[in-house]
């Protein structure tokens, strides 16, 4: 082995997710994509999925060209058979699943902006049913594989709405709260089998289109520019700034790694002081 290869092997030894096999749902999105890139940088093998193949392929190609391993697949995370089939193909290829990360997000325009008193039942129920069903399905199907290995980490991203009252968000807050409850219940049942179940709850990350789309109308309605609105949100944090995607993804790496072996049942608060637990 050359000196270069020896040093490379030594560096790789230190990678936090070396030899881990991860599946990400909603990997073509802002959070799913950022987490995928961060996992790949720590040497995880990635099976990236999403409802629209093209956006997942963009992330996979980026990882491959940086020397990582990533495979893209079109998988509707609400379709049990599709999730099952994909997981099986992943097991056939990689032998196991160590990390399951659900970053699925439904377009906010469908669910935000209507006062509760005017909201119809269908629109109210949509985020609750969609978010909880997709998290339940992906977690349950991964857990069945992980139980056999007595090892694994299941993760989901939520938002501050799970813990605080925010107007004009319809069923989004109840959906986020329900997923955090599901994280706790999954952990209670799965931790005895060696599986950790954790969540992370970032505040709005303004670099993401999702947040711009969701908040720009609120900013306009309050007579503020989008920049003033961001400043207002930032002023509520202890750091007087909003979190960046890469910072959130670094936390996701730690939580998925063996360094976090003591962490289960919890949803990590990434509100930078703007919301107490
Ligand atoms: N962005 C933030 O700052 C922030 C902060 C806190 C919490 N969150 C929450 O975190 C989640 C992800 O946010 P994001 O900013 O990453 O949103 P995003 O960019 O819109 O990504 C969501 C991804 O989920 C995919 N998806 C939707 N339905 C799916 C399904 N049935 N099966 C598979 N994939 C599906 C979407 O695919 P399509 O494009 O094909 O629909 C999209 O690629 C959301 O719940 C969001 O509310 C976001």
Ligand 1 centroid distance, CA of 110 (Å): 13
Nearest protein CA to atom 25 of ligand 1, as residue: 26
Nearest protein CA to atom 8 of ligand 1, as residue: 159
* CB-neighbour burial class of residue 151 (10 A; exposed 0-12, middle 13-18, buried 19+): middle
Q: Is the pLDDT of residue 47 over 90?
A: yes
Ligand 1 proximal residues by C-beta, below 6 Å: 25-26, 28-32, 50-52, 55, 76-78, 103-106, 134, 157, 159, 202, 204-205, 208, 210-211
Q: Is the pLDDT of residue 58 over 90?
A: yes
d(CA 208, CA 227): 14
What's the average model confidence in pLDDT over 44-69? 97
Task: Please state, as a whole number, how many other Cβ atoms lie within 10 Å of the Cβ of residue 64.
Answer: 15
Query: What pLDDT score was predicted for residue 149?
Result: 96
Q: Which ligand 1 atom is the nearest neighbour of the CA of 32? A: 16
Pocket test for ligand 1, best of 105, 158, 204 (most atoms within 8 A of CB): 105
Query: What pLDDT score was predicted for residue 9?
Result: 67
3-state SS assignment for residue 159:
coil
d(CA 261, CA 248): 19
Spatial CA neighbour of 112 closest among 102, 101, 97, 123 = 123
Q: Is the pLDDT of residue 13 over 70?
A: no
- pLDDT above 90 coverage of the chain, percent: 83
Neighbouring-strand partners of residue 197: 154
Ligand 1 centroid distance, CA of 56 (Å): 12
Block residue for tokens 């269908």:
122
Task: Tell if the pTM clears 0.75, that is, is over it.
Answer: yes
């Amino acid at each position: 082995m050359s000196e270069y290869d020896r040093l490379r092997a030594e560096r790789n030894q230190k990678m936090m997710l070396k030899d881990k096999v991860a599946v990400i749902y909603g990997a073509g999105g802002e959070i799913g994509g950022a987490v995928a890139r961060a996992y790949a940088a720590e040497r995880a093998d990635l099976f990236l999925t999403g409802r629209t193949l093209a956006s997942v392929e963009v992330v996979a190609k980026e990882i491959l060209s940086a020397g990582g391993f990533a495979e893209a697949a079109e998988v509707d995370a609400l379709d049990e058979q599709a999730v099952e089939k994909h997981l099986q193909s992943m097991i056939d290829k990689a032998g196991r699943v160590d990390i399951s990360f659900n970053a699925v997000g439904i377009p906010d325009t469908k669910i935000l902006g209507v006062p509760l008193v005017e909201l119809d039942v269908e629109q109210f129920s949509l985020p609750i049913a969609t978010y909880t069903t997709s998290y339940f399905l992906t977690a349950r199907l991964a857990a069945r594989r992980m139980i056999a290995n007595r090892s694994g980490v299941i993760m989901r991203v939520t938002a501050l709405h799970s813990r605080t009252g925010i107007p004009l968000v319809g069923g989004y807050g109840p959906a986020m709260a329900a997923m955090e409850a599901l994280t706790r219940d999954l952990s209670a049942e799965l931790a005895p089998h060696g599986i950790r179940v954790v969540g992370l709850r970032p505040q709005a990350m303004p670099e993401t289109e999702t947040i711009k789309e969701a908040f720009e109308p609120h900013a306009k309605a309050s007579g503020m520019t989008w920049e003033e609105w961001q400043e207002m949100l930032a002023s509520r944090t202890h750091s007087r700034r909003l979190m960046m995607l890469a910072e959130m993804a670094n936390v996701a790496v730690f939580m998925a790694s063996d360094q976090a072996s003591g962490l289960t049942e919890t949803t990590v608060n990434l509100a930078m002081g703007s919301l107490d637990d």
